[in-house]
Amino acid sequence: MATINDNYLKLKAGYLFPEIARRVNTFAEANPDAKLIKLGIGDVTEPLPAACRTAIIKAVEEMGDRATFKGYGPEQGYPWLREKIATHDFQSRGCEIEAGEIFISDGSKCDTGNILDIFGKDNKIAVTDPVYPVYVDTNVMAGHTGDADDSGKYEGLVYLPITAENNFTAEIPSEKVDLIYLCFPNNPTGATASKDYLKTWVDYAKANGSVIFFDAAYEAFITDPDLPHSIYEIDGARDCAIEFRSFSKNAGFTGTRCALTVVPKTLTAKASDGSDVELWPLWNRRHCTKFNGVSYIVQRGAEAVYSEEGQGQVKALVNFYLENAKIICDQLTAAGLTVYGGVNAPYVWVKTPNGLSSWDFFDKLLNTANVVGTPGSGFGAAGEGYFRISAFNSRENVDEAMQRITDKFKV
């Protein structure tokens, strides 16, 4: 008789965003005339940059000509895209990252889970609380945890609280951990990290033989010149960090799918016999075995991000969403709500008013203002009493949503 992976049975009721969708669908069916505004999931709304569309159209036409047709491409990504990324995103900031250390994929969400394939089952894993749920759920699926307690915390994980008291930046753990998930600008809180702060993590990782999984999916939203965009801006990070990036939020590729993971060739971890093993060949083998590569058409679209036109258009997109975030922060603050984030980040982290729980505030906002956000408790126990609002939407919807919320929730 076939058996299942019992680890899936440990997962809580449902992945956060499907649960949100379920509640929204139930409300919509009961209220078909309600005009819902969704500021929940981090999905973009504005069209792909013109430079990317032009490049994609040209690539489609190439696929219609035998002379320029492309079949299977290199699993790691085409060299011309990897070289552009290395030059523009890393070397221009003083990071010693070469094209051969960059792997093109269909999403950083996928890669932050898939990276566990090359690590052992006995690692002690640290996550922030609140946290992007994928980090936790993929470890549960892989059998790296025990069961969850009543607060939703899984046995075997080390939770690092991020709160208003520590500016939503986790403190270095007092115990030794092996794998560390960091996300900056942070999802869900919108917090950012200074170079000095990241240096403390790099120093800790090097001293303890740890590996940092650094999720930089929102780095394009950093406008403060003193803030780092990559962990590789920190001396020593090549020896202890893997970085994940995406074209989803900066260039609107959420429906087009293109991302990248950086695995430095100097990065090692221990085998069971205690010997040092380079991680690059392991990830390369995993990538080539389980992934056929991002399509030629999409990679040409991503390459156009680095053209002069593409750079200007991407900057305009990012500025548009940052202006949305500013409107959200300003309007909610004026209404008496306490807000965090929304600067150098597309997410606003709101303290729920009047002692409401995260899900109660979600339901009240949905039912009275017809606005959808994300309950903070869905990101972890320390997120209880908070609520995430995404700046990814049209200006019209953001303005309307803020009007509705402030009308209902003036403090």
**Confidence tier at 408 by pLDDT (50, 70, 90):** confident
Report d(CA 185, CA 19) in Å as an integer.
25
Give the tens place of pLDDT for each residue, 311-330. 999 999 999 999 999 999 99
Give the tens place of pLDDT for each residue, 366-384. 999 999 999 999 999 999 9
Least confident of 147-161, 278-292, 294-308: 147-161
Residue 16 pLDDT more than 80?
Answer: no
Residue 14 pLDDT more than 70?
Answer: no
Give the tens place of pLDDT for each residue, 338-373. 999 999 999 999 999 999 999 999 999 999 999 999
Whether the model clears a pTM of 0.85, i.e. scores above it, the answer is yes
Residue with tokens 């060739």: 265
Residue 17 pLDDT more than 80?
Answer: no
pLDDT of residue 259: 98
Averaged pLDDT, 391-407: 96
Residue 21 pLDDT more than 90?
Answer: no
Averaged pLDDT, 162-177: 95
Arithmetic mean of pLDDT over the chain = 96
Averaged pLDDT, 152-160: 95
